[in-house]
Structure 1
């Protein structure tokens, strides 16, 4: 497996001193950074990997064994790829390719059956680039009726799948309902934004914290830290749910 001095992996020893790539330009997510670091400190022993460019940049990959990944995806001996981001001036320098190659090499070294990730027929915000994944050999192995896809790079012919519960993408409750995880540093800020807006406008809302692996595996929707329902229907995985976006959902 290739390594590079340009990159580093977060560990229990360096976690407190390292920045989290996706929030380096904003102080309003500071609470989320601490929540994320606590969550990470509990996941690293499970084989969770957060690898980033050793610079002040949004260039990183994050993945974990599927068995301990907080997503409603089932399968044996797979890696689940949560995020692969390269933003700003760091695009076009081959960093995304290097990070993906590291993940693939790491999976093979650990004798995994493959790697999988959440995607969609039409590219959606907060999902890693489908075209890039396909270029690296990923294929669609499962789908939901509303256009979400599970992509996989299989090394041995086996494939993972969404849980049957996740593929329903519906709940019985009609009110605005949001399932949220603890992994992304943007989440506490967005949860509070939604909570305050709903309180100010007398909108019933159910904010459900997904704080255990068991809860994550049993979710009624595809999930990558965030899942929004309204009138019983799944709406989005986009976790930057500002008031304008929220208003559009509530008008449906």
Structure 2
């Protein structure tokens, strides 16, 4: 097992790969957008820790106060993503990354660590059954099946912002809230724009580009949220046009 891990910093950010999309040195718009997003977050205590190898093995978390999610709480870390993919699976990397995050939280005097989950595991969300093995528990829920998982060190717990629990908007068009925290988002947006233009589907894209916008979102959010006919649909990135079609036929 390779135990050589590295944390991204402002000094090495330009040279290190970002795990999610393993590419050659050719520029990829999604990766460069993510790199820019990260460059503005690292000074806020945001952590991106990865295996020092060409592999998808990483954890990404931030102080809840500056995490771009509609969740409130004091002195917590929020885990955006914990991902071990492909051949590295089964080697204990996920445990090592989670243990690092928990140890970091304790060392910095945090009250605990939290993450977004659901009553049924969703794509694009970290494995909540894995988190529960470390003692994470459901501390808040929404009416549409999403859960806030937390591991508290002092008995306090975070919660969803009230606005995240009422996932309805006035706009009836296909509406997508997004930020550039995930490098896949750029290509998903381009796919959706092209599909909607070709099929004459009205589309509203709302770039969540400030912390305030993220905290005030009308739904749960990890970096992406889809509404149609005013109703919240999913935090999953739309995998293909078939997925989009199923939403539009509702």
TM-score normalised by the chain length of structure 2? 0.97
Establish whether residue 104 from structure 1 lines up as the match of residue 102 from structure 2: yes
How many matched pairs?
Answer: 249
Shift of the 158–223 alpha-carbon distance from structure 1 to 2, 3 Å rule, reads same
Find the counterpart in structure 1 of residue 113 from structure 2.
Answer: 115
Q: Aligned residue for 2:168?
A: 170
Distance in 2 of aligned mates of 1:156 and 1:85: 27
2:30 is equivalent to residue 32 of structure 1: yes
Partner deviation per Cα, 1:150-179 (whole Å, 9 max, x = no partner): 000000000000001011111121111000
Task: Return the alpha-carbon distance in structure 2 between the equivalents of residues 212 and 20 of structure 1.
Answer: 22
What RMSD, in angstroms, separates the aligned Cα atoms of the two structures? 1.5
Q: Is the 8 A contact 1:28 1:189 kept in 2?
A: no
1:182 Cα deviation from its structure 2 partner = 1.4
Q: Which residue of 2 aligns with 1:144?
A: 142
Identify the residue that residue 62 of structure 2 maps to in structure 1.
64
Residues 96-245 of structure 1 aligned to structure 2 (within 5 Å): 96-245=94-243
In structure 2, list runs of 5 or more residues that go unmatched: none
Tell me which stretches of 4 or more aligned residues in structure 1 moved more than 6 Å. 26-29
Q: Helix, strand or coil for the counterpart of 1:234?
A: strand
In the TM superposition, what is the alpha-carbon distance from 1:26 to its structure 2 partner?
A: 8.0
* 1:23–1:29 CA contact under 8 A, matched in 2: no
CA distance in 1 between partners of 2:27 and 2:83 (Å): 18
Could you give the per-residue CA deviations for residues 78-123 of structure 1, whole angstroms, max 9, x where no partner exists? Answer: 0000000001111110000000000000000010000000000000
CA shift digits 1:164-209 (9 cap, x unpaired): 1011111121111000011111111111111111111111110000
The answer as to whether partners of 1:116 and 1:153 remain within 8 angstroms in 2 is yes
1:13 pairs, out of 11, 19, 22, with 11
Query: What is the SS of the residue equivalent to 2:20?
Result: helix
TM-score, length-scaled by structure 1: 0.96
- Cα distance in 2 between the residues matched to 1:136 and 1:91: 18
SS at match of 1:102: helix
For structure 1, list consecutive stretches of 5 or more residues without a partner in the other structure: none
